[in-house]
Amino acid sequence: MKNLELAWILEEIGDLLDLQGENPFKVRAYRRAARTIELLPEDIEAVWRRGELGKVEGIGKALEEKINEWLSTGVMTYHAELKAQLPPGLRELTRVPGVGPKLAQRLYRELGIRNLDELEAACREQRLRHLKGLGPRTEENILRGIERLRRQMERFPLGLALPVAQQLVRALAALPVVQRVALAGSLRRGRETVGDVDIVASSPDPEPVMEAFVRTPGVEQVLARGDTKASIVLRTGLQVDLRVVRDDQFAAALHHFTGSKEHNVLLRELAQTKGLKISEYGIVRVDDDEVLAVATEADVFAAVGLPYIPPELREDGSEIAAAREGRLPELITVGDMKGDLHVHSDWSDGLDTIEAMALAARERGYEYIAITDHSPSLSVARGLDPARLEEQLREIDRLNRQLAGIRILSGCEVDILRDGTLDLPDELLARLDVVVASVHSAMGLDEREMTDRIVAAMRNPHVDIIGHPTGRILGRREPYAVDMERIIQVAAETGTCLEINASPDRLDLNDVYARWAHARGVMIVVNTDAHSTEGLDQMGYGVTVARRAWLGKADVLNCLPWPELKARLKDGRT
Ligand SMILES: [Zn+2]
Ligand SMILES: [Zn+2]
């Protein structure tokens, strides 16, 4: 399968265009195509051979020609030319917090800075402060950013690692000699970033499995290749480890390599008290060395008298005590989601029409979808002023009369201005079904001001949800300074829901805050913040965070059917 390699190229084109200050819609189009191809269940080459590239969502005429060229010659001229126009390290510069494509471009043109090391040196030599608009603070911030980035570069965000890992698992599963194969490690536990990917497979004949694995397209380096264990590094820098075991050892191996370490240590201790020894090879009765047969992970837990513990809960060991005391929650699943309450359409910065978003929601089995486009102050995102929002309300009415099987809720993602006021009038907010309020500007306020600002928004009688409450972008932007304890307390007081933004770049709230908020009686909502139909598929990432926060479907607002949801929204209460 060449899907991953192609996706990687398209992603790089998007980044390079961004660096050149290209139109953001063009940049998005490439990133979107990359994502589509990455998730495509079929080999792109097969689609191409049938002449059906143009039928793949997001692949237009121009892109079709480029992919055609790449698949027939192995080269994409456009990609090669773009790459030649800029030094290779420049893309990395934009990952430093505070260095956008524009600044990276300037640093290159005006100071000749081509990569992270040169940027670091320039800051230390205080050369940036001589550029217009930059000063000593910029240098300090960039140095801090570089340090943070270097730490993060050793870890991969879930959203990058998971699709790749799933594709590898599918490829291995397709080998006739493989009996079972599954993801393990922190990725299976749903950690927001992972150091590497672990895969466990069972087979009576490991050799061909190893062979197929090290020949995965996109492998840059084979770190190790033994009889039953191999490690590869993909071109993206992601390391993947595979272990192949006998099928009767699969369950124990899967459990062992899923971890966490703390979980495994405590489970082994519990096993000892029952005269058992648990290892990656299986479970042995200490008395007579009898090996207990364990066919599934549930059998592993049952052997020590526990119910099955889902991987997302296997973290600090407290899950084992909870399991012993029968306190494990019935965790939420993607299938419990009744709708999405934060999505954008092409009325603001989304790519698809309201109708397309609604139909995509219906296709995913949802009962409702809230269209929450941006408000006027976010002019870069073409935020809607009151007149256009009125117009959108009429369009939603019209579509609701026309479409069956899905309810479109009216809404907006209203900006919380610096002083805590909102940039749409209350009378208008009162008429919307769902109001999400978010911070998109002045993120450098101190903790007190930022907290007061969000608290003021929660006290607005029409604000139902605080969107992406800490504002972080994984690997790019730290959360803003905010007193989460107070936010959670006021959310509980005012009946405002806090969002788990499911976009894998955000995952905001994170698992810890979400669990904390739930414990204080705050209703959580899991939204994708989709800017296109396929963005709706990112719900799973948010649900993973919710599961790691020990949440069940009763704890999440958009697991409620519409009448009950309506009663929970501020304007729906009487
Ligand atoms: Zn937002
Ligand atoms: Zn949004």
User: What DSSP element (H or E) covers 291?
Assistant: strand 290-292
**First-residue to last-residue Cα distance in the chain:** 56
Distance in Å, CA 21 to ligand 1 centroid = 22
Distance in Å, CA 74 to ligand 1 centroid = 39
User: What DSSP element (H or E) covers 169?
Assistant: helix 158-173
Distance of alpha carbon 24 from the chain centroid: 21
Residues in the chain: 574
Q: Please, which residues have CB within 8 angstroms of residue 95's CB and are 6 or more apart in sequence?
A: 149, 475, 476
Distance in Å, CA 421 to ligand 1 centroid = 16
Q: In the Cβ-directed half-sphere of 302, how many Cα atoms lie within 13 Å?
A: 9
Distance in Å, CA 527 to ligand 2 centroid = 9
- pTM, rounded to two decimals: 0.79
Distance in Å, CA 188 to ligand 2 centroid = 27
Q: Which region, left, alpha or beta, applies to residue 439 given φ > 0 means left and ψ of -120 to 50 means alpha? A: beta
Distance in Å, CA 459 to ligand 1 centroid = 19
Distance in Å, CA 222 to ligand 1 centroid = 41
User: What DSSP element (H or E) covers 152?
Assistant: helix 136-152
User: What would the two tokens of residue 483 be?
Assistant: 């007193």
Q: What is the mean pLDDT of each run of 10 residues along the chain (574 residues)?
A: 81 89 88 83 87 88 93 92 86 83 89 91 93 90 86 81 94 97 98 94 96 90 91 89 97 97 94 95 93 95 97 94 96 98 96 97 98 90 93 98 98 97 96 97 93 98 98 86 96 98 96 95 98 96 98 98 95 66
The rounded radius of gyration (Å) of the Cα atoms in the chain is 25
The answer to whether 346 and 395 have CB atoms below 8 angstroms apart is: no
Distance in Å, CA 500 to ligand 2 centroid = 12
The answer to whether 299 and 251 have CB atoms below 8 angstroms apart is: yes
The answer to whether 231 and 239 have CB atoms below 8 angstroms apart is: yes
3-state secondary structure of 515: helix
The confidence score (pLDDT) of residue 163 equals 92
3-state secondary structure of 489: helix
Distance in Å, CA 413 to ligand 2 centroid = 6
The answer to whether 194 and 158 have CB atoms below 8 angstroms apart is: yes
The amino acid at residue 538 is Q
User: What would the two tokens of residue 507 be?
Assistant: 């995952």
The confidence score (pLDDT) of residue 1 equals 62
Q: Helical H runs in 368-458?
A: 386-402, 426-430, 447-458
Distance of alpha carbon 338 from the chain centroid: 20
The confidence score (pLDDT) of residue 574 equals 46
Q: Is 268 exposed, middle or buried (0-12, 13-18, 19+ CB in 10 A)?
A: middle
Distance of alpha carbon 100 from the chain centroid: 21
The confidence score (pLDDT) of residue 467 equals 98
Distance in Å, CA 347 to ligand 1 centroid = 15
Query: Minimum-distance ligand to the CA of 531?
Result: 2
Distance in Å, CA 105 to ligand 2 centroid = 28
The confidence score (pLDDT) of residue 92 equals 82
Q: Helical H runs in 353-475?
A: 354-363, 386-402, 426-430, 447-458
Distance in Å, CA 342 to ligand 2 centroid = 6
CA angle 437, 547, 331 (to 5 degrees): 115
Distance in Å, CA 301 to ligand 1 centroid = 42
Distance in Å, CA 385 to ligand 1 centroid = 16
User: What would the two tokens of residue 386 be?
Assistant: 């009151």
Distance in Å, CA 47 to ligand 2 centroid = 33
Query: Minimum-distance ligand to the CA of 412?
Result: 2
Structural domains present in the chain: 3-85 (1.10.150.110), 90-152 (1.10.150.20), 156-245 (3.30.460.10), 251-324 (3.30.210.10), 334-572 (3.20.20.140)
Q: How far apart (Å, rounded) are the C-alpha atoms in residues 389 and 401? A: 18
Over the stretch 166-183, which tens digit does the pLDDT of each residue have? 999 999 999 999 999 999
Distance in Å, CA 30 to ligand 1 centroid = 21
Distance in Å, CA 135 to ligand 1 centroid = 29
> Rounded mean pLDDT of the chain?
93
3-state secondary structure of 468: coil
